[in-house]
């Protein structure tokens, strides 16, 4: 684990150089989410990076909400973000901030720009502003309002603050360079009118700063040393630096860009995720199929597995798509060490052990977790009639099928060897019951005569089994790269996987009912699961986190051979 933490990347190298040169004595980073939706796995990468670096270099990380767009923000999102950051194992301590804390300071900074002749009130419509901006190959045109006097701009900006203009009637723009090759420098909008109550400031303000203006100034106000953001902000860096330089802020944070997380079979657009929620395509932001942190928590992913995943994918300067199988591999590795084992049958087939006494019951000893000796053992009830998984029987087995078949002997996990003697079918030819015999000398799953049995299957006692509801989750999208398919003209909703959720009733051993909501466990030979919050005292509901088959381990093994 220590080696993973010290894994180098270009951001660590920059920080170490800055500390060694004396440029900074203390590293201060920030995680600046917009409270306009729930966080997703892409945000987890940023959280782990910002908070992780601050911890590693004995600095601090601020949690700052970029709440400059009141139309889409709410306290619900604020609280969900706090919960997600804490759940991942990080704490901002007393360093919780909101961009709205600085609204008056932002306003005064804007006034300073006007007084310097570097900002003006513009009455062009949004469409006209886009038209005047030009293109990547053609320079922009100056707004007819660009050369207003300082006094006129101050008066107009004050009127904007007082609500004397309608939404969209005017904006405040920075005066930079309409012929700049960087479109972001062509007199960007820094204030716009929005007559919408704010979740913290109420109706005090009707003008709000844009992200580009508020973000760099928030960083400067808080003394951030390294402002880490994703690659789409690379072209915004000259504007970030321009504001800090022109306004001569006391602190000069350095913006550093890194590649965002793109995960196969997943979308990371908050707008699209919100559509899935609003249109009831999923069961809320914490639906276990969603790539949100709350959805992954509900599905059964652990904080350790997500932190491990974020460390493994590393920090790069160019975008790429990470295989979802790696995320599954990380949670399997973590749960393999932690999760208790139980037996459950998802598609039951009845088995009668004809030579086992009808009135007999016994308790067999089962290991709770072979990876953790301290987890101990439990008692599993056994009786004459049991249920096995239907897929563990074949009437006409293919070659190398080592499970139950007519005349074949298998091991019942923790119990006995049994041999299938008779197959009972219904009027449609469907197998409904098996009659088997057992060898009493093989209790515990071992034969005193040393004979080998290749197949081991799980089971539950019919007399003692409890019924639960199992939600079998799969990937939300049926294509590996939904974004690429969208570029070909397909709607992302067309790409949804219709098999992303199956619900079955399963029979399980009674010890499972000792678990509580949120507990993780493994159904032996099936996969890892988590007790869902929808469970009641009379009905347990569990979510499948991931199957036991680890495709990433096979992928990794092939890569290592090359």
Catalytic residues: 34, 260, 270
Q: At 114, which helix (H) or strand (E)? A: helix 103-115
- Measured distance CA(176)–CA(187) in Å, rounded: 5
Q: Which letter does DSSP use for residue 22 in this model?
A: T
- Measured distance CA(1)–CA(12) in Å, rounded: 18
Q: What is the number of other CB atoms lying within 10 angstroms of the CB of residue 138?
A: 9
3-state secondary structure (DSSP) of residue 147: coil
Cα–Cα distances in angstroms (integers) from residue 276 to residues 36, 269, 272, 500, in the given order: 15, 11, 6, 14
Written as six digits, the tokens of 277 are 């929620």
Orientation angle between helical segments 75-87 and 41-56, nearest 10 degrees: 60
Written as six digits, the tokens of 461 are 């006692």
The residues, any chain, with a CB within 8 Å of residue 174's CB and separated by 6 or more, are 113, 118, 119, 187, 188, 190, 213, 242, 243
Cα–Cα distances in angstroms (integers) from residue 259 to residues 34, 318, 523, in the given order: 19, 5, 37
- Measured distance CA(176)–CA(173) in Å, rounded: 9
Q: List the strands of the sheet with 541-547, edge to edge.
A: 340-342, 520-523, 527-531, 541-547, 466-473, 501-508, 344-345
- Measured distance CA(293)–CA(87) in Å, rounded: 9
- Measured distance CA(490)–CA(510) in Å, rounded: 47
Q: What is the number of other CB atoms lying within 10 angstroms of the CB of residue 440?
A: 9
Q: What is the number of other CB atoms lying within 10 angstroms of the CB of residue 257?
A: 18
Closest of 388, 289, 209 to residue 41, by C-alpha: 289
- Measured distance CA(22)–CA(29) in Å, rounded: 17
- Measured distance CA(145)–CA(423) in Å, rounded: 88
Backbone angles phi, psi at 158, to 5 degrees: -65, -40
């Amino acid at each position: 684990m220590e080696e993973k933490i010290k894994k180098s990347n270009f951001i660590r190298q920059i920080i170490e150089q800055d500390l060694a040169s004396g440029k900074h004595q203390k590293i201060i980073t920030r995680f600046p989410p917009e409270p306009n939706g729930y966080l997703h796995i892409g945000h987890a990468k940023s959280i782990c990076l910002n908070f992780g670096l601050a911890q590693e270099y004995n600095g601090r990380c601020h949690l700052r909400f970029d709440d400059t767009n009141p139309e889409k923000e709410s306290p619900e999102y604020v609280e969900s973000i706090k919960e997600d950051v804490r759940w991942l194992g990080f704490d901002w301590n007393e360093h919780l901030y909101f961009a709205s804390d600085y609204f008056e300071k932002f306003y005064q900074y804007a006034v300073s720009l006007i007084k310097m002749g570097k900002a003006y009130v513009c009455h062009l419509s949004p469409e006209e502003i886009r038209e005047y901006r030009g293109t990547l190959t053609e320079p922009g045109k100056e707004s007819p309002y660009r050369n207003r006097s300082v006094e006129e701009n101050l008066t107009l900006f004050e009127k904007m603050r007082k609500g004397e203009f309608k939404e969209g009637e005017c904006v405040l723009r920075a005066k930079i360079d309409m012929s700049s090759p960087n479109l972001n420098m062509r007199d960007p909008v820094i204030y716009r009118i929005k007559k919408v109550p704010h979740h913290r400031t109420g109706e005090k303000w009707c003008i709000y700063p844009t992200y580009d203006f508020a973000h760099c100034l928030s960083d400067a106000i808080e003394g951030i040393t390294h402002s880490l953001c994703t690659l789409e902000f690379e072209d915004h860096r000259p504007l970030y630096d321009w504001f800090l330089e022109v306004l001569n802020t006391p602190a000069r944070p350095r913006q550093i860009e890194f590649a965002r997380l793109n995960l196969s079979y997943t979308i990371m657009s908050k707008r699209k995720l919100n559509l899935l929620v609003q249109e009831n395509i999923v069961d809320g932001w914490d639906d276990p199929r969603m790539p949100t942190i709350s959805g992954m928590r509900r599905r059964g992913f652990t904080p350790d597995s997500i932190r491990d995943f974020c460390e493994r994918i590393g920090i790069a300067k160019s975008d790429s798509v990470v295989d979802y199988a790696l995320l599954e591999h990380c949670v399997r590795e973590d749960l393999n060490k932690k999760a208790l084992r139980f037996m459950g049958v998802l598609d039951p087939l009845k088995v009668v052990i004809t030579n086992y006494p009808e009135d007999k019951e016994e308790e067999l000893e089962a290991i709770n977790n072979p990876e953790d000796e301290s987890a101990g053992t439990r008692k599993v009830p056994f009786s004459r009639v049991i249920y096995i998984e239907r897929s563990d029987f074949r009437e006409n087995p293919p070659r190398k099928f080592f499970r139950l078949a007519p005349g074949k002997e298998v091991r019942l996990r923790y119990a006995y060897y049994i041999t299938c003697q008779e197959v009972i079918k219904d009027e449609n030819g469907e197998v409904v019951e098996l009659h088997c015999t057992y060898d009493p000398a093989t209790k515990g799953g071992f034969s005193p005569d040393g004979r080998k049995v290749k197949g081991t299957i799980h089971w539950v006692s019919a007399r003692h089994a409890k019924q639960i509801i199992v939600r079998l989750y799969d990937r939300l999208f049926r294509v590996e790269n939904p974004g690429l398919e969208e570029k070909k003209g397909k709607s992302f909703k067309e790409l949804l996987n219709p098999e992303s959720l199956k619900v079955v009733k399963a029979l399980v051993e009674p010890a499972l009912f000792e678990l509580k909501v949120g507990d993780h466990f493994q159904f032996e030979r099936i996969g890892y699961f988590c007790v869902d919050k929808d469970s009641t005292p009379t009905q347990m509901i569990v979510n499948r986190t991931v199957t036991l088959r680890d495709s990433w381990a096979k992928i990794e093994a092939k890569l290592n051979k090359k």
